[in-house]
Amino acid sequence: MHPEKRVYRRRFLAGTAALGAVGTAGCLSGSDLPVVGSSVDTEFERTDAELAAHEPPEVTVDGNTVAVRGTIEFGSSECGTVDLAYTEYEYSQERLDLLVVAADDSGVRTGCSDDLVEAGYRLEATVNEGVRRVSATEHHVFGETYSTTVEGVD
């Protein structure tokens, strides 16, 4: 491509991008687009197993605070753990989604133990807005999935 055409092309693209930004500025403010992942404070801790691993998580809602507890089976007492993998609040539907998983904690270690372990967890999530629906899901080491959904919460 000729050097002058490159300059014109760059100017054209830069101008088009600037006009696009100016043209849409203000279109998004005050819109009804969902705000995802905002305003959720979480506390997560591993505990002794109080529930059976094949039982779905227990979910309680008290105002804007959601408490979840459960038990997850994971592989290797030396290299595995339970972890909060996903927390998302969807504003327009006032929906909170939580995912707790069996996780690999081996890092760069090789040679993990070959045992299966069950560990409990306790999760507390506080949402600054309202909560109408909560879904808590557990993913265990061999792909088993257990969920609890609470709807109609005000």
pLDDT single digits (tens) 56-115: 999 999 999 999 999 999 988 888 899 999 999 999 999 999 999 999 877 766 778 888
Please determine, for residue 10, whether its predicted confidence score (pLDDT) is greater than 90. no
Q: CB under 8 Å, gap of 24 or more: what pairs does 83-88 form?
A: 83/44, 84/42, 84/44, 84/121, 84/123, 85/139, 87/37, 87/40, 87/42, 87/125, 88/36, 88/37, 88/40
DSSP, res 106: -
pLDDT in tens, 118-143: 999 999 999 988 899 999 999 999 99
Tokens standing for residue 14: 């830069």
Yes or no: say if 146 and 138 are a contact pair by the CB < 8 Å rule.
Answer: yes
Residue 20's pLDDT is what?
46
CA separation for the pair 98, 87 (Å, rounded): 5
Residue 47's pLDDT is what?
95
Least confident of 15-29, 46-60, 140-154: 15-29
What is the DSSP pairing of strand 95-104 with strand 80-90? antiparallel
10 Å CB burial of residue 151 (0-12, 13-18, 19+) is exposed
Please determine, for residue 43, whether its predicted confidence score (pLDDT) is greater than 70. yes
